[in-house]
């Protein structure tokens, strides 16, 4: 690869983030695996190392400015300047609006929006210097509205506006910004939803697959494939886009 090849993936200890980190590694990137608990990323790091890739685990809360700054210091010292950032870290705090507490509103906004903002602001400095960068933000089909997710839907719709604005502001510096909006992906996040509504996860997946046009739920690898495309040098004329990876049309 002729361009710098260091990628940061947040929330990559498990789920979609782990899938994206592994895929970017197999694409040739050295990967910084950022998650709340550094030790929790051991599985992702080991999988990448076993496949012959390079990865470092970095513990950081993406919503904390000091921890984000420290994380970037480590990425640059241990791998080099990042050319790809995947803002994937996320949480859900689902409840119907009339029961939704302000703490659960603020927590979701903090991880998804403040986190993506802080990480991107830190990353763009290196990308602008290099006149090259790829920013990939995780939105969701919930951005279109989803019962019990007023906080999450607002955050994921916000991610789309954030992404389009990044594309406009950073485009002149060779930086693209795009969003991936997954539908139902089988991870601990969707497992937690099944538990909340009191349905076994397998049954929850079968129910979800029945209304998805391709008749299956998604896997982290489905999202990783889209991320691989947006992270590629050849995708340099694609920016400010939201791709729904949901087994059917969603917007």
Q: Enumerate binding residues for ligand NAP (CB under 6 A).
A: 10-11, 13-17, 35-37, 40, 61-63, 88-91, 111, 115, 138, 140, 182, 184-185, 187-190
Nearer to ligand NAP, 13 or 57 (CB): 13
Sorted by sequence, the CB contacts under 8 Å of residue 242 that are 6+ apart come out as: 139, 160, 163, 178, 179, 180, 181, 251
* Nearby residues of 200 by Cβ (< 8 Å), 6 or more positions away: 194
> How many other C-beta atoms are found inside a 10 Å radius of the C-beta of residue 100?
17
Smallest gap from Cβ 1 to ligand NAP, in A, equals 26
Query: What distance in Å separates the CA atoms of residue 10 and residue 67, rounded to the nearest whole number?
Result: 13
Query: Is the Cβ of residue 132 or residue 136 nearer to ligand NAP in the bound state?
Result: 136
143: number of Cβ within 10 Å: 24
Number of neighbouring beta carbons within 10 Å of residue 42: 13
Is residue 229 annotated as a catalytic residue, yes or no? no
Smallest separation, CB 49 to ligand NAP (Å): 19
DSSP 157: H
By the 10 Å C-beta count (0-12 exposed, 13-18 middle, 19+ buried), 189 is classed as middle
Residue 57 to residue 41: CA distance in whole angstroms: 6
Q: Which is nearer to ligand NAP, 16 or 123 (CB)?
A: 16
Task: Kindly state the smallest distance separating residue 97's Cβ from ligand NAP, in Å.
Answer: 19
Q: Min. distance of Cβ 174 from ligand NAP in angstroms?
A: 26
Per annotation, catalytic residue among 132, 152, 229, 244: 152
Q: Which is nearer to ligand NAP, 83 or 140 (CB)?
A: 140
Q: Which is nearer to ligand NAP, 146 or 173 (CB)?
A: 146
Smallest distance, ligand NAP to C-beta of residue 194, A: 11
- The position carrying tokens 């886009």 is 241
> Do residues 226 and 139 make contact, with C-beta atoms less than 8 angstroms apart?
no
Catalytic residues: 152
């Amino acid at each position: 690869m002729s361009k710098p090849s260091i990628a940061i993936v947040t929330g990559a200890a498990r789920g979609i983030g782990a899938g994206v980190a592994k895929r970017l590694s197999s694409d040739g990137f050295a990967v910084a695996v950022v998650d709340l608990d550094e030790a929790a990323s051991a599985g992702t790091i080991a999988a990448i190392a076993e496949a012959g890739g390079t990865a470092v685990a970095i513990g950081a809360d993406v919503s904390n400015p000091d921890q984000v700054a420290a994380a970037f210091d480590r990425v640059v010292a241990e791998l080099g300047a990042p050319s790809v950032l995947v803002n994937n870290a996320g949480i859900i705090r689902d409840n119907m609006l009339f029961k939704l507490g302000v703490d659960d509103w603020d927590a979701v906004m903090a991880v998804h929006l403040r986190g993506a903002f802080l990480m991107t602001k830190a990353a763009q400095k290196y990308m602008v210097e290099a006149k090259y960068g790829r920013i990939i933000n995780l939105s969701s089909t919930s951005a279109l509205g989803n019962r019990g997710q007023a906080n999450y839907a607002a955050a994921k719709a916000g991610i789309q506006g954030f992404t389009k604005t990044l594309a406009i502001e950073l485009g002149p510096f060779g930086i693209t910004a795009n969003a991936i909006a997954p539908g139902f992906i089988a991870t601990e996040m969707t497992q937690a939803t099944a538990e909340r509504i009191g349905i076994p996860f397998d049954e929850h997946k079968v129910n979800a697959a029945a209304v998805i046009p391709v008749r299956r739920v998604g896997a982290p690898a489905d999202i990783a494939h889209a991320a691989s495309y947006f992270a590629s040098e050849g995708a340099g004329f694609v920016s400010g886009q939201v791709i729904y990876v949901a087994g059917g049309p969603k917007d």
